[in-house]
Structure 1
């Protein structure tokens, strides 16, 4: 389907606005959590404000992707936007933590629809050659939300009150809805097909159990619950595979994984979640302890990382649309990120903060160079009738990889610090403020401890990106085709 240049621009603006709302709602709440939990009198359940949103937005991806293929992405997109706005209203009016968590779950479900259908709609209305620059613009919503979300959330909470963190979505969302009704085209779907209810149920059960297991894994009191959840996840996933191999219309078409482009693309997408998204949350703590910075200053490193990702994402999207080349960006990007993370492992504590900022900026540049581009490449390897499903798969492996690895890294840090902490300090009550007020010798010892704990983590993540270089090399060499619906213009791999 070809749109006029004006309508295509309106469509991109609409999709960017809505994608930004969904991404921002994931980050803007972080600085308001303590205030919200205190007002609702449920500090012990504070984490579920985030966990409920993340869990819902992850597990519904394959279901929403399949629905987009069956009933059309326009209907799923508009329905998701209406549900998101309704859930935002309910969040702001929440009189209890249970109400808020349930509303956040609905927000997460609808947010998944917004993000996923935005990418799917662009795939339907543009050729593979045009797609990277448009996908890069929409993909910029996530890094921008990371950059400004916590600050916006803090300002709104301080000046208007925490309900407005959610209510601010409504006027912006209504404007985006009005634009979307005009700009998002009706996209014809293939003949009516059956929805794989059994596959969807087992897949959702396995992912819910897995996310809960990794969430509880770091809590000693919930260790038995984590083990049970892991067992349930394994059994549910086995049942899902059994069902999918026999389903006439599987929710996740397993045969697609035999396609080299799709398999390599999914591996690269997972590596982004495993190799970078997982560690970003821990970088401020690392610099507060190892470099003895303030809380505010420690945030500069993740900001530099995300800024590098944002710039690279936009630049490579534009370059890929001009040249049609995509493999070179994946190879160079994974290589640069691997080198950057290996360098982080070798940096001694006490260097000027500008040094790790520059290194992590390079890691962000490497990741951004193929972050949105790989979605386009994978979409170009399937028919129009499977765009929603394959786009969901790309996003799913990234989010699951980030969720699982975040929990693993948290456990490694907790165990490593507790095992080697100097006498007189308790790992359970250790804070940057406590360390900064300790004698210089103790500060230096703890700084060295955090450097020793994080070094193997950086090495492991660098190795993950090194595997990404192999996956990038396995992508078929060639150019993105100029015509919509054309297969990738593959060239033989060099000997």
Structure 2
């Protein structure tokens, strides 16, 4: 049995045109089921519009972090503070496959514009919040709409570019995330200090309205898919229940505070996710097209996307704490390490996107990138204490460069291996793998740090009150003890993450050889390969 990937004739090996259709001329770009020319000027305008909107969605995930304490204090609900972030993240993750399917059915332009309008309304509601419950609900809506912005931006780019062009433009859109990581916390703190925390959300309104006006003009009316006779409501419900239960269960289990509740949540997650798998296999119109994961390109690309979430995104938030404790540096200085990591990611993301579009070659970049990530994290695990801070900064910059070299590229490659009428669903699946991996790994790492430090601390040191400021004011002996403890706790974490990247090397090697084509939704494989049984 030959596994076909739909409307592509080998944009990457392992895919072919099931209908046997000839590729259209390279002078036109395919819009869904229609083909129409798109001028270079309009394409640049479109990319600028999508980048602005993607940056808004990514920024809203990072800009709130520095204002959380102020928000919780003014609204008087410290115990709900974490849900301002968790609600946003969970909503944006859970809605990915649903929005991907809607984009394929209704057209990505409609989903994109509705998501942008909903995002602006939710931002307005967040700023007017009178209590924490109001804010959390508004943040959930914001997360849902943010998922639509990020996902449809990538889907629209896939619809209006050839496989050869796609990595360059996808890298530009993907640059929104690392830029948001760099400027978000600083911007959020400055807005909170000078304007008030409400403007952390309201700043989206003027920028978003301009982006909305651009989007109405720039985003073309893309072809709609066939309206399904049956919507996969059962699959969506099972997936939502399974993912929410999984995140809650892993969080409780990693904190060693959930007990029976954690076990119950994990059992519910296992049952719901198993039911989701069964539903998707049998559904006539599945929300997640599992059959396409028999394609080697899609399977390997999805694994690589998950490895990015597990291997790097999960540890970034904990790096400042590690360096404040293990290297005895201030909070400001400790932020230099994640900044170096993200800068490396940003630069390599843009460079490899340009190179892949210029040469058509893509396989070498994830191979080199996963090797760099594995080597850098193994080196982090073995760095002795007392080194100047520029050493781990350089090492983590290498990890960031390795990750960025295939972060956006792998999305473009997987899109090229999928049929045109499933672009949204496949794009959602690869993003979903990354976000779920990051969410679960972040919870596990956080719980491991808390448990490990508490277990190793000598008598007389209370882990609940062990802040970087308190440690820096303690005796030299205490500082040395704490530094050694954090080194012991983080070493196996770095080793585990390095092993994740080492597994990624295998996934990268499994990518078929091929060259991205100048033809819309086609490529010239070298040699042509497809999975067969």
Identify whether the pair has TM-score above 0.5, normalized to the shorter chain. Answer: yes
Q: Residue 465 of structure 2 is aligned with which of 423, 429, 454?
A: 429
TM-score (norm 1): 0.98
Corresponding position: 1:150 with 2:185: yes
Tell me how far 1:488 sits from its aligned partner: 6.0
Corresponding position: 1:340 with 2:380: no
Aligned counterparts of 1:223 and 1:428: Cα–Cα separation in 2: 20
Partner of 1:229: 265
Equivalent residues in 2 for 1:37-48 (5 A)? 37-48=72-83
Tell me how far 1:201 sits from its aligned partner: 1.2
Asked if structure 2 preserves the Cα contact closer than 8 Å seen for 1:135 and 1:373, the reply is yes
Aligned counterparts of 1:224 and 1:182: Cα–Cα separation in 2: 54
Partner of 1:207: 243
CA RMSD of aligned residues (A): 1.1
Partner of 1:322: 358
Equivalent residues in 2 for 1:460-471 (5 A)? 460-471=496-507
Partner of 1:7: 42
Partner of 1:139: 174
Aligned counterparts of 1:118 and 1:98: Cα–Cα separation in 2: 30
Partner of 2:489: 453
Q: Residue 93 of structure 2 is aligned with which of 36, 58, 62?
A: 58
Asked if structure 2 preserves the Cα contact closer than 8 Å seen for 1:273 and 1:400, the reply is yes
Aligned counterparts of 1:490 and 1:188: Cα–Cα separation in 2: 31
Partner of 1:304: 340
Tell me how far 1:223 sits from its aligned partner: 3.3
Deviations 1:408-446 (A, max 9, x none): 111211121111112210112211111111111111111
Distance 1:457 1:220, change over 3 A: closer
Aligned counterparts of 1:19 and 1:215: Cα–Cα separation in 2: 28
Corresponding position: 1:397 with 2:433: yes
Corresponding position: 1:439 with 2:475: yes
Asked if structure 2 preserves the Cα contact closer than 8 Å seen for 1:88 and 1:169, the reply is yes
Runs of at least 5 residues in structure 1 that lack an aligned partner in the other structure:
none
Aligned residues: 493
Asked if structure 2 preserves the Cα contact closer than 8 Å seen for 1:132 and 1:373, the reply is yes
Partner of 1:291: 327
Tell me how far 1:216 sits from its aligned partner: 2.9
> Moved runs in structure 1, 4+ residues, more than 6 A?
none
Aligned counterparts of 1:228 and 1:463: Cα–Cα separation in 2: 30
| 2:173 aligned counterpart, secondary structure | helix
Tell me how far 1:214 sits from its aligned partner: 2.4
**Bigger RCO (CA 8 Å, 6+ sep):** 2
Corresponding position: 1:161 with 2:200: no
Equivalent residues in 2 for 1:53-202 (5 A)? 53-193=88-228, 194-202=230-238
Aligned counterparts of 2:186 and 2:321: Cα–Cα separation in 1: 18
Deviations 1:446-470 (A, max 9, x none): 1111111111111111111011011
Asked if structure 1 preserves the Cα contact closer than 8 Å seen for 2:163 and 2:523, the reply is no
Deviations 1:364-414 (A, max 9, x none): 000000000000010010111000000001100000000101111112111
Runs of at least 5 residues in structure 2 that lack an aligned partner in the other structure:
1-29, 31-36
Aligned counterparts of 1:316 and 1:238: Cα–Cα separation in 2: 38
